[in-house]
Chains A and B, each alone.
Chain A
Amino acid sequence: DVKVTQSSRYLVKRTGEKVFLECVQDMDHENMFWYRQDPGLGLRLIYFSYDVKMKEKGDIPEGYSVSREKKERFSLILESASTNQTSMYLCASLLSTGGRVETQYFGPGTRLLVL
């Protein structure tokens, strides 16, 4: 089975801190994603990566950056955390087949509180 792990389930940070959220997948998937999930807004795509060192902006990239130095690891970085970045953060990975989108596998999520 595919396993996607996230470094923390719960995280509390202060405004202005630099925050790193780590995601690791064990199935050699090319594509990885970071979403945030907020009540009433559903899942919104922050960034995704389709290969090592490659990244693409999603729908809400402002205030975030990402790093993909190894295929199995995709990091989300909040350069200077703000209270409006309090949210549930979900990582996912995807094995693309023939250019068609297939199933995404999600990690358990990181609930981030910025004080």
Chain B
Amino acid sequence: SQQGEEDPQALSIQEGENATMNCSYKTSINNLQWYRQNSGRGLVHLILIRSNEREKHSGRLRVTLDTSKKSSSLLITASRAADTASYFCATDGGIQGAQKLVFGQGTRLTINP
């Protein structure tokens, strides 16, 4: 089955730096979403980008989507210690009416104070 793959698997940066995470997927999509998971908790939706969009912003988050390369990136600017979490991309498989999302394995981000 289709699967998003995040890269890198783990990322450690200093507070205040920017963090970039990448996601690749295999089939066509209607939209791609990014979620965050704090340790031991459920996932929280961050942002959704549709297949006809190339870039989207939400606060310190910037998401890009390149459907020709089947890839997306999540940029967190001016990182904070509270951004420490795992980040997952999820795709819908491009099937109209399908309700499932397929999640990647995630990038574990650590922000060092």
Contact = CB atoms under 8 A, between A and B. Distances in A.
Interface in A83-105: 88, 90, 92, 94, 96, 99-105
A103 B41 contact: no
Given A42-B106, A101-B98, A109 B33 contact: no
B40 A111 contact: yes
B1 interface: yes
B68 interface: no
Contacts of A62: none
Query: Which of B42, B43, B88, B97 is packed against the most chain A CB atoms within 10 Å?
Result: B42
A31 interface: yes
A48 interface: yes
Interface residues of B, number: 26
B75 interface: no
A4 B42 CA distance: 10
Contacts of B58: none
Given A48-B100, A59-B1, A104 B42 contact: no
A74 interface: no
B45 interface: yes
A54 to B, nearest CB: 11
A50 interface: yes
A10 to B, nearest CB: 10
Interface in B73-113: 88, 90, 92, 96-106
A42 B30 contact: no
Question: What 5 A-B pairs come out closest when comparing CB atoms?
Answer: A106-B42, A42-B105, A101-B92, A43-B103, A99-B97
